[in-house]
């Protein structure tokens, strides 16, 4: 597809997303929004799914539920009022829909201070308190717009904790690792990293293998009964820096592998698939998280 056409589609998706955010309190129909951006319902539905990896109806429902979750957490509004604002005719219907996505009832969610108000999504577009779309994620909005750089990383020694299971649950292992870093005074030589060893499209989620890791000095003596060592020689990587919440990383990886690397004329050598976390999530808003996706190349 020509770049001009791809960018036109990208702008169309942006207009649609902005329209959804502006009209969340109204009755939103696919026909009406497709007319707004100048496409037939069926053509636009296919176009939207291609770029967002989410159907139009799934997107609208998710954004409304995210807004509802924020309202539950941050306001004293009655759950019945929040249910109506989210497009549900009764608190019971809202509770069922909410629980199916957040795995907790709305009444319980209100008491969970650490619960995340954003739902996992392959495109990284989320509702926010300002009611406008701030996501800078482009990887899900047109493969020709993805920036892939070739970088050479120096030889680095990592130690880490093994994680087995869904990749999007590795955060639990990182929490354990970072607690050890703090209590044991382990010196970190740079940003933490995740290493992935299996294709999630081919391997059951429960069997996926990965490491949550930190770089350490070459002479650091670690407890081999607790940590694994990962040695990365000087290596050439295809690199893409994703900006946004960690819930959007899966979609970014899909675009890197399916479009970004092939379109850049690059080929993986199968040695390393890793992420580096370039800023501290404790000090940044999720929309400003920076994650470098790295694939070693020939």
- 94 in a domain, yes or no? yes
Are 78 and 154 in a shared domain? Answer: no
Are 185 and 291 in a shared domain? Answer: yes
pLDDT > 70 in the chain, percent: 90
How many Cβ atoms from other residues are within 10 Å of residue 161's Cβ?
18
Tell me 145's DSSP state: G
How far is CA 146 from each of CA 136, 177, 201, 256, rounded to the nearest angstrom? 12, 32, 22, 8
- 268 in a domain, yes or no? yes
Are 158 and 292 in a shared domain? Answer: yes
Per the DSSP assignment, residues forming a β-bridge with 237 are: 151, 296
Radius of gyration over every alpha carbon of the chain, rounded to an integer in angstroms:
21
CATH label of the domain that carries residue 114: 1.10.10.60
Q: In which domain, by residue range, is 190 found?
A: 149-297
- 159 in a domain, yes or no? yes
Residue 83, classified by CB atoms within 10 Å of its CB into exposed (0-12), middle (13-18) or buried (19+), is buried
Are 78 and 186 in a shared domain? Answer: no
Are 176 and 275 in a shared domain? Answer: yes
* pLDDT of res. 78: 95
Report the number of distinct structural domains present in the chain: 2
Q: Which of 120, 137, 170 is the last residue of a domain?
A: 120
Q: Could you tell me whether strands 290-297 and 268-277 are parallel, antiparallel, or unpaired per DSSP bridges? A: antiparallel
Per the DSSP assignment, residues forming a β-bridge with 290 are: 243
Please, what is the Cα angle at 112 between 109 and 115, to 5 degrees? 85
pLDDT in tens, 245-291: 998 888 888 778 867 887 788 888 889 999 999 999 989 998 899 99
Pairwise pLDDT comparison (54 vs 224), residue with the higher score: 224
pLDDT in tens, 137-186: 433 444 445 689 999 999 999 999 999 999 999 999 999 999 999 999 99
């Amino acid at each position: 597809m020509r770049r001009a056409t791809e960018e036109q589609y990208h702008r169309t998706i942006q207009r649609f997303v902005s329209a959804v955010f502006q009209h969340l309190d109204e009755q939103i129909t696919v026909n009406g929004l497709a007319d707004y951006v100048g496409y037939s319902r069926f053509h636009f539905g296919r176009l939207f799914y291609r770029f967002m990896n989410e159907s139009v109806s799934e997107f609208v429902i998710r954004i409304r539920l995210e807004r509802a979750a924020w309202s539950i957490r941050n306001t004293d509004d009655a759950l019945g009022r929040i249910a109506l604002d989210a497009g549900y005719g009764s608190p019971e219907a809202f509770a069922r829909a909410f629980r199916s996505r957040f795995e907790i009832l709305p009444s319980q969610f209100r008491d969970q201070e650490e619960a995340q108000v954003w739902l996992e999504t392959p495109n990284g577009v989320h509702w926010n308190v300002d009611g406008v779309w701030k996501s800078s994620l482009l990887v899900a909005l047109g493969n020709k717009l993805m920036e892939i750089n070739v970088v050479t990383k120096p030889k680095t020694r990592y130690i880490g904790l093994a994680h087995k299971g869904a990749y999007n649950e590795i955060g639990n292992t990182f929490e354990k690792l970072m607690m050890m870093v703090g209590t044991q005074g382990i010196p970190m030589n740079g940003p933490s990293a995740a290493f992935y060893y299996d294709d999630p499209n081919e391997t059951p989620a429960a069997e996926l293998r990965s490491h949550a890791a930190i770089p350490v000095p070459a002479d650091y003596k670690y407890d081999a009964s607790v940590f694994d060592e990962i040695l990365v020689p000087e290596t050439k990587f295809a690199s893409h820096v994703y900006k946004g919440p960690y819930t959007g990383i899966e979609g970014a990886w899909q675009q890197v592998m399916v479009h970004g690397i092939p379109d850049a004329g690059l080929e993986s050598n199968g040695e390393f698939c890793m992420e580096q976390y370039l800023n501290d999530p404790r000090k940044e808003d999720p929309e400003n998280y920076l994650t470098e996706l790295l694939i070693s190349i020939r």
